Structure formats: structure tokens, C-alpha cells
Homo-oligomer: A and B are copies of this chain.
Amino acid sequence: MGSLIDPTGTAFLLVENRSMPMHVGGLQLFEKPAGAGRGYGREMYESMRDVDEIAPLFLKRPHRSLSTAAQLTWVEDEQFDIDHHIRHSALPQPGRIRELLDLSGRLHGTRLAWERPLWEAHVIEGLRDGRVALYTKVHHALVDGISAMRLVQSTLSPDPDLREMPPPWDARTRRDRPRPPKQDAETSLTEIPTQALRSALGITAEAAGMPGALIKTITKGVRNETSALSLYAPRTIFNQKITGSRRFAAQDWPIERLHAIGKATGTTINDVVLAMCGGAVRRYLLEVDALPETSLVAMVPIGLKAKESHIASTEGGNAVGSVMCQLGTDLEDPADRLTVIHAAMQDGKEALSTMTPLQIMAMSALGQAPAIAAPMLRMSGLVRPPYNLIISNVPGPRATQYWNGAKLVGHYPLSIPINGMALNITCISYDGNLGFGLIGCRRTVPHLQRLLTHLDDEVTALEKAAGV
């Protein structure tokens, strides 16, 4: 009668409550194929719904079994109803991106009921430019955010003429399609040895020496490990208890623009992304008169090459570490902020390379599952939040992708705000653009969408500072 849910999945299910739904989401924008008419939204919906065989991942639901001493098990939903999971929706007038983001935020704020398999997909029409959107949500107990994105991507193709392509929940998706070839370490966040993450969740912070490890990843400017004041992130409005209301904001920027800034300043694209976020958050907090005197600290998950991570070789994959990066929000000049961030990221990566395998595993857990890891790791002695927000940058496909002839023109992630971490920024690169997905508690982070304007202003400011 069903298989036991592993401890990490169980933890994601049990930590969940109305204020913290534990699902990851994705919003994809498609252009209709040439010649498609007004009924295309329905056609897409029907081809996503009319699937002969659903993959097992999408058929199972959690069940608290009496026969397994109240442990959670996965059981197949015997009343599986595809119409509950695949929905056909439309935007109200005037059908702008704003209405799409409103709907996505609303869908993302509703918890998945345990009574059914833990996923939904919504085909959304009614954008006034004729594009069709797909919002998907999957519980973190089933897949992590990166795997969810990868799952969606695995159903796409660079071939615009390909048809009969299955959706992610089609059993054919896994059987017929080869896994994409391994790429360089940067693109291999999805290859995290799951076992490592799972082990880490069983390790206390002290056993792993986590406070020291966290400190190591904070910039060189902070050397005195006994001076708690200078070590940890300041309190901000982002670091409060959250509610279940969500606001979502999303926008693309051309990677070429970020690349030009990086090239002119000797920094990486990821540094530029962090500088954009740092500057935007600074502007946002200034507007609401809530900018702390000391710099905000972001937790930045990064992929580690096998040789850097010690543990990777035994697991046959790569690991994820986390750098605690000062964002320079205390500095007025965008160029100064970029310099600080670049140094912080370099120091952080260096520090990661000196960490023990146990610490690396604990950092992986923190980077992958902060909602579980942060409380479980119980970072003793850390009276302030060790970081203020999470900023992730995930590589996506470089070539233009299609699903049954519909061109993917945008892809934006929706991650998981948690108590004490009300704002999450996740970016995904695709086809020459970097898509930013900002998700936050609507109450704790009011007017979250203003961050988009601030991000845009920061790109311009950084270009000016870099002389490009």
C-alpha cells in the first residue's frame, strides 16, 4: 500500500502550512505557431490534457497510513482526475502582463491539497498580444525547483516543426526522450547528488561546524569571528514572519547587456545580476524608509565543480554550495557595489573550497532547502538572520525552444518564500535573455513589482558606471 516518503519529502510536507505552501512554480510564455487561430489556447490545453498514460510522479499523493505507524507514504490516486490538474484559464481585460502576473501570484499562493497528486498546470489565454502562457506548480516533496524547470525543459525541442510532443506529465516524456547531455559545471545544478542533500538534513549545524562555515563565506572584510555584530545580516522587512499571500513580478533583460557590463568591469554576469538586485533592493528599501545601515547579505547558491567539492567524485555528480554575499546596499555608487559583490563572490567560492565535505553537504542543504535546512541546522549562536534573501541564477537552454510548434519566448521561475525570508529572486537564462522571477509575501513585501523598475534602472546605472 504505497511507498514511504523519504525524510526530505516528508519534511517539506510537514513544514508546510497555509502561510508557507511548499511548491515551486514556473511561468512560460509561448507564441502561437504560424496560422494558429483564436482557438489555439484550447488546442494547447487539450493536447496537454489528453494524455494516454500519466507518469507515476504525477499520479501519487501523500497518505498518512495507519499501517506504517502514521508515517507518510506515497499512494497512487485511484480517482485521478486529469481535469483537476490541467486547467484552462483566461486573463481579464485588458490582458496585459500585469494581469498574467496577478493570476500567477494568486495561483502560486494556493496550497496543493494532499488529497490529490501535488501538481497543477494552467494554460492561460487572453494576453492581448495573443501569446499563451503556461503556469505550472509542483510540490517540493516531488521535485526541487531546478528539477521542475528541467522537467519542463525536457519536453521542449529546438525544432519548430516537431509535433506530437508530450507534456511533462505524459509517461512518454520519461520513456522516449534521452536525458540531455551533461554540460559544464555551471549548468549542472540539477545534478546535485540527492543523497548528499538528504544526509545533510540529518546533520546538526554544530556537528558540521556550520557557523564557522557560514562565516567563511562572508567577505574578507569580516575577519573577526568573535564579533557577532559584524558577521550577520541586518534585520530588514524581508526577514519577518510571512502570510500566504503572494505577489509575483517577472521581466527579461538581454544577457548581452549584462555581459557588456561584466566585460568592462572584469566581473561575471552573475556578479552583475547580484549588483542589479542589490541596487534594486536598496532603492526599494530607501523608498519605504527601511534601509539598514549595514549591507544586506544574499544567500547565493552556486554550482561547484567536482574538484572543488571533494564529495562530488564519490557521487558521480557536482554539488551546490552557498555563498553569503554582501550586496553593498550601504553604498551609494553602483560601481562600488559591483566591486564589493565581485570580491564577496570570489572570497566565498574560495572559502567553499576550504570547507570539509560535511560542511559542503550542509551548505548544499541550505542552498537547496532553506525552509527545512535553516531550522534543522539550528545555527547556534546566530541571533540575527544569517542572510536577508536568496538570489539564484539558473542556466536554461541557450537555443530557442518549441513545444509542438509554439515558440517559448519567456520562462520565469516562482520559488518559495518562507518565514523570515519573504522575498526570493530566481533568474533563468534562455535564448539570450535572463528572466527574473521575483516572488514575495504580498503583505511583508508591499509593492514588490516596483523592484522591476528598480532592476531596470540599475542596469542603466551599471552601464553608465562601466562606460558601456
A interface residues (Cβ-Cβ under 8 A, vs B): 17-19, 38-39, 41-42, 45, 79, 81, 83-84, 87-94, 102, 106, 109-111, 113, 115-116, 125-126, 243-245, 442-443
Across-interface contacts of A110 in B (CB, < 8 A)? 84
List 14 additional contacts besides A81-B245, A88-B92; criterion CB under 8 Å: A18-B115, A18-B116, A39-B93, A41-B92, A42-B92, A79-B443, A81-B244, A81-B442, A81-B443, A84-B244, A88-B102, A89-B92, A90-B126, A111-B115
CB distance B83 to A245 under 8 Å?
A: yes
**Contact across chains for A126 and B84 when beta carbons are under 8 A apart:** no
Beta-carbon contact of B125 and A84 below 8 Å: no
- Give the complex CA separation of A166 and B182 in angstroms: 60
| CB-contact partner of A92 in B90, B115, B116, under 8 A | B90
Is A442 in contact with B38, judged by CB distance below 8 angstroms?
no
Q: State how many angstroms separate the Cβ of A40 from the closest Cβ of chain B.
A: 9
- A80: nearest residue on chain B (CB-CB)? B243
Chain B residues closer than 8 Å to A38, beta-carbon distance: 93-94
Contact call A19/B90, Cβ cutoff below 8 A: no
Q: Which of A84, A110, A116 is the most central at the interface, judged by chain B CB atoms within 10 Å of its CB?
A: A84
Contact between A109 and B90, CB atoms less than 8 A apart? no
Contact of A93 among B79, B92, B125 (CB under 8 A): B125
Name the residue on B nearest A111 (C-beta). B113
Could you say which of B41, B79, B125, B442 contacts A243, with CB atoms under 8 Å apart? B79
- How close is A97's CB to chain B, nearest CB, in angstroms? 15
Given known A39-B93, A90-B90, A94-B39, contact A84–B113 (CB-CB < 8 A) = no
Cβ B109 vs Cβ A84 within 8 A: yes
Residues in chain B near residue A79, CB distance under 8 A: 18-19, 243-244, 443
| Nearest-neighbor residue (CB-CB) of A19 within chain B | B79
